[in-house]
Amino acid sequence: MNKKIVVANIGMKFGMSHVEGAMSYGAEIGAICDCNEENLRFAGERYGIPEDKWVTDYRDLLDNDEIDVVTVAIPDQQHKKVACDFLRAGKHVLCEKPLALTREDVEEIIKVSDESGSKFMVGQICRFTPSFEKAKEIVESGTIGEIYFIESEYAHDYMKLCDDWRADPKRHGVIGGGCHAVDLIRWIAGDPIEVFAYGTHTLLPMVEYDDATIAIMKFNDNLAGKVFVSTGCKRDYTMRTVIYGTKGTLICDNTSPTMTLFTTDEEGVTLPAQTIEIEVNNHNAAKEFEVFADAIINGKDILTDAREGAKTVEVCRSIVEASVSGKIVKPNYNF
Ligand SMILES: NC(=O)c1ccc[n+]([C@@H]2O[C@H](COP(=O)([O-])OP(=O)(O)OC[C@H]3O[C@@H](n4cnc5c(N)ncnc54)[C@H](O)[C@@H]3O)[C@@H](O)[C@H]2O)c1
């Protein structure tokens, strides 16, 4: 592709971060879309996008040959319909997480994505968070040895954020927000083969699902993990993550300017903690878009493609099922 990438951004709340990501890459904004005119106007004026590029119905963009790439940031329940419509129209699609809320929907997105010949990316943005990129690099360097335990949490106060489409029981907090922590540990440690979980419901009476869930998981005989999700918590947003290895331990977060690294000497004795300074950027939309554009232009594979997004949703759904049934659940990765 020699010409400038032309992007249409659908959904103008969190989706404004995709406008910023595309702009920082140097792409052209071919259209912005929101069914709410107020939100559309706010975004259009904020980014200086001419009014003739403001659209309230995304279907008006399906036949627009100028547009190469579409970003989708609308309620999770609509991801399948809108992402598949654009894939069928020949557009490359960057769709927000979680990929979808049901097995049927993720399977359909995979099918349409496979058939389309277009690039498809799920916005698992934690994979572009500087502290987590650094954590992945340290683990792969062997500095902390073999991982035997990994834990991550997603604690985010949704008190004022869950009386809309987020109240849908299918949009359980573990799937909607907790998918970040699940995706992160899958990226670093691989796919868990079994999960078990307990949930509590004390802080968000307006939703029908648990607002706190603790899940434990087995990856293999030598590796276990834990994910804690609280969407009613009384604290600042955090995704505190600890990776325990046979030669060291790493403590990091997406909201902290430092990471802590413990290593060992030749006899296995723990050395004093090292502090690593790191940029705080928990929504690195610029890097996300850059990776997506690079895959489109240079024909590269996308790590967080539809199947990868589906596997993260599958683990989240298994956690919810385990917490409701009181039984160990084995995620089914057969997509
Ligand atoms: N990556 C992250 O960290 C992160 C953070 C927040 C939200 N999200 C995801 O982004 C998506 C949007 O979340 P949000 O917080 O912006 O939700 P929101 O409800 O605050 O905003 C959604 C926007 O989309 C518009 N919209 C809804 N249906 C539409 C349609 N069919 N066509 C055009 N516009 C439509 C609404 O009018 C609204 O302006 C969700 O999938 C959510 O899970 C991701």
| Nearest alpha-carbon partner for 171 in 10, 11, 320 | 320
Is the pLDDT at 274 greater than 90? The verdict is: yes
Q: Rounded distance, CA 234 to CA 20, Å? A: 30
C-alpha of residue 78 to centroid of ligand 1, in Å: 10
Pocket test for ligand 1, best of 41, 96, 282 (most atoms within 8 A of CB): 96
Q: Rounded distance, CA 192 to CA 115, Å? A: 29
Beta bridge partners of 274: 261
Is the pLDDT at 161 greater than 80? The verdict is: yes
- The CA radius of gyration of the chain, in Å to the nearest whole number, is 20
Total-model pTM: 0.97
pLDDT-above-70 percentage for the chain: 99
Mean pLDDT of 122-131: 98
The answer to whether the CB of 231 falls within 8 A of the CB of 159 is no
Mean pLDDT taken over the chain:
97
**What was the pLDDT predicted at 3?**
63
Is the pLDDT at 1 greater than 60? The verdict is: no
Give the binding-site residues of ligand 1, using a 6 Å CB cut-off.
10-15, 33-36, 39, 58, 73-76, 78, 96-97, 123, 125, 164, 176, 283
C-alpha of residue 76 to centroid of ligand 1, in Å: 8
Q: Rounded distance, CA 127 to CA 124, Å? A: 6
Residue pLDDT, tens place only, 75-101: 999 999 999 999 999 999 999 999 999
Pocket test for ligand 1, best of 74, 80, 124, 126 (most atoms within 8 A of CB): 74
Is the pLDDT at 2 greater than 50? The verdict is: no
Residue 166 CB partners (closer than 8 Å, separation 6+) = 158, 176, 207
Helix-strand-coil split of the chain, %, nearest 5: 40, 25, 40
C-alpha of residue 34 to centroid of ligand 1, in Å: 9
Mean pLDDT of 182-209: 97
